Amino acid sequence: MKIKKLSHHIIIVALAITIIGCNFFEKQIIPLKSVTDHFTTPIDAQLLLDSTRIGRSTIISNLDVPWEIVWGPDNWIWFTEQGGKVSKVNPRTGKKKLLLEIQEVFRKRTTGLLGMVVHPKFEHFPYVFLNYTLKKEHSIISRLERYTYTNGVLVQPKVLLEIPGNTGHNGSRLTIAPDGKLMWATGDIGPNTDNAQNLKSLNGKILRLNIDGSIPKDNPFLGSPIWSWGQRNVQGLVYGNGNNLYTSEHGDATDDEINLMRRRGNYGWPNVTGFCDSLEEEVFCKDSTVVLPLKAWTPTIAPAGLDYYKTDIIPEWKNTLLLTTLKENDLRVLKLNKEGNAILSESILFNRELGRIRDICVSPIGDVYLSTSNCDWNPSDGFPVDQDDRIVRIFKLNDSEYEWDDKMLQVETNLIQDTAKSNTSKGEMHYRQYCSSCHKSNGEGVAGIFPSLTNSEKVKGSKEELINLALYGITVNMKKKLGSLYDQSMPGFHFLSDEEVAETLTYIRQQFGGDAESINAQEINDVRVKIDSDD
């Protein structure tokens, strides 16, 4: 009898603990009553859409390259910083709280603490999934790990999967599918681009896992986490309407992409970039049933974070993909058709105002949050500025609460290249579009990564050798032959016309090579013919 009573009391206590736990969790959630309720940060910009006025404000600054920002279960923004910290910030007050610091994070170039996703059913699965790089002896490893949220911190790390990593092209984005599976976008860890087409490699893929790290039985390949392949370097991953899964992916010299992911889909890299628009690509696309992108950009824009906008708060953005860019330093609004399988239009906001924008998230009430990436390894010209890096809020301005400020007012624009000015030469325009993100507008490059062009013997020396480099780039094998002078691969720009290559190289030689002799289109053509005949 005593045993029965004791069991009964245990059950009551357990239920009480459960109820208290749920209530405690609910008390942490701050209800959002209106678009502007309780927000205290000042507005630093206003923008007019078709009929909606939106504002921009900074909610927190002086961050260490916030890589991933997500809307948390407590209505705070949870975010990773590349150096190894996971924190959350109250978007109304800017108050920050540290949740976790991972000591073994390896950080160089684009390695570090990267992707994160919070389980959408947090009250039942209080899990946070993280992707970061570490070193094991002389190898870089990309680790997928699960943490449990308890008493305001992240504890109980569980390693779900480890794959090879590199100092670049690690991918890293994470999301939870509508069916509860964990989706992980991995990079091809170039320059070994063959990983993307190799089904024995987990790099250059979208992987699908159970939340305990096991492999779902209904995956495309028995015993494999591979969901799709042929990815180069996914930087955005989000589900939209109708369970459509979208990615934003870095191209090489051409064709950054937005893709609609399909189960068992091959997305072509490295055999196909963008659409199948060359003879070689057409053959591969036909043989391998390549899934074509919804959109591709040449010149490249370095697409980064991606989110889906579904609310009516900003009606112009309903049913759009919101995309941030690193190279172009802007926010892009990509209008989808009803089915979500085509992009109908594109417009740009905040062009060159915030610098590199790494990630984006949308709150349940339709506010948009952006994180800048100006203190990373490859800042844009003029950045970082004071108090970078930041997380900023973009929100609808109610006319009854906010007056017009013409000094702040901007207008959303269609695609306008700021390089297309009458006083900009064609060579300078091509240089900005294809070269300056690595070699910088002043030609100084990035120390230890991208070589300086200023007074370089390669720039002012042999025309034929410079043309060869411009047309065909620097491959892994060429790097070994050239030695330590080049520690970063360079794509080839053979897709440009002879005239465009000549204009670009002439600008480079005269701007950075001590006014070296110009190069003409015939000289470009002569090198192409010679290389083709040697082959």
Read off the pLDDT band of 108 (50, 70, 90).
very high
pLDDT at position 419: 38
Any idea what the CATH number is for the domain that residue 497 is in?
Answer: 1.10.760.10
Q: Examine residue 504 and state whether it is found in any structural domain, yes or no.
A: yes
Question: Is residue 433 domain-resident?
Answer: yes
Sorted by sequence, the CB contacts under 8 Å of residue 226 that are 6+ apart come out as 199, 202, 205, 206, 207, 208, 219, 220
Among residues of the chain, what percentage have pLDDT more than 70?
A: 85
Strand locations in 262-404 (E):
295-297, 303-309, 320-325, 331-336, 343-349, 357-362, 368-372, 391-396
- What value does the mean pLDDT take over residues 362-381? 96
- Give Dmax over CA atoms of the chain in angstroms: 101
Of the pLDDT bands very low, low, confident and very high (cuts 50, 70, 90), residue 405 is low
Of 490 and 386, the one with more pLDDT: 386
> Has residue 95 got a pLDDT over 80?
yes
Report if residue 493 sits inside a domain: yes
Whether 62 is covered by a domain: the verdict is no
> At residue 162, does pLDDT exceed 50?
yes
> What pLDDT shows up at residue 413?
61
Q: Report, as an integer, the average pLDDT of 309-323.
A: 97
The first and second tokens of residue 217, run together, are 């039985």
Tokens (6 digits) for 442: 């002043």
Nearest to 145 by CA among 120, 114, 169, 122: 114
- The dihedral sign for the CA sequence 238, 372, 37, 74: positive
Please indicate, yes or no, if residue 67 is contained in any of the structural domains.
Answer: no
Quick one: pLDDT at residue 20?
34
Among 86, 32, 79, 43, smallest CA distance to 305 is for: 79
pLDDT attached to residue 193: 87
Q: Is it the case that residue 28 has pLDDT exceeding 80?
A: no
Domain count, the chain: 1
Q: pLDDT value at position 415?
A: 52
Q: Is the model's pLDDT at 9 over the cut of 60?
A: no
pLDDT tens for 36-87 read: 456 778 888 889 898 899 999 999 999 999 999 999 999 999 999 999 999 9
**322 or 22: whose pLDDT is higher?**
322
pLDDT at 184 over 90: yes
- Please tell me which residue, 478 or 244, carries the higher pLDDT value: 244
**Residue 497 within a domain:** yes
Mean pLDDT of 180-204: 95
At 438-455, the pLDDT tens digits run 999 999 998 888 889 998
**pLDDT of 149:** 98
Task: Decide if 177 is inside a domain.
Answer: no
- Which range is least confidently modeled, 259-263, 476-480, 519-523? 476-480
Q: Is the pLDDT of residue 404 over 70?
A: no
pLDDT at 361 over 90: yes
More reliable by pLDDT, 6 or 448: 448
What pLDDT, on a 0 to 100 scale, did the predictor assign at position 401?
A: 62
- Higher model confidence: residue 398 or residue 150? 150
Question: Tokens 């824009």 identify what position?
Answer: 301
For residue 97, the one-letter residue type is K
How much of the chain, in percent, has pLDDT values that exceed 90?
75
Pair 271, 188: CB distance under 8 Å: no
Task: Give me the pLDDT at residue 423, please.
Answer: 67
pLDDT given at position 514: 84
- What pLDDT score does 515 carry? 79
State whether the Cα torsion 275-276-280-285 is positive or negative. Answer: positive
pLDDT value at residue 191: 83
CA distance 447 to 100: 32
Would residue 197 count as lying in a domain? Answer: no
Domain that holds residue 489: 426-534
Give residue for tokens 């973009």: 394
pTM for this entry: 0.89
Q: In the sheet that 331-336 helps form, which strands lie side by side, from edge to edge? A: 303-309, 320-325, 331-336, 343-349
Average pLDDT for the chain? 88
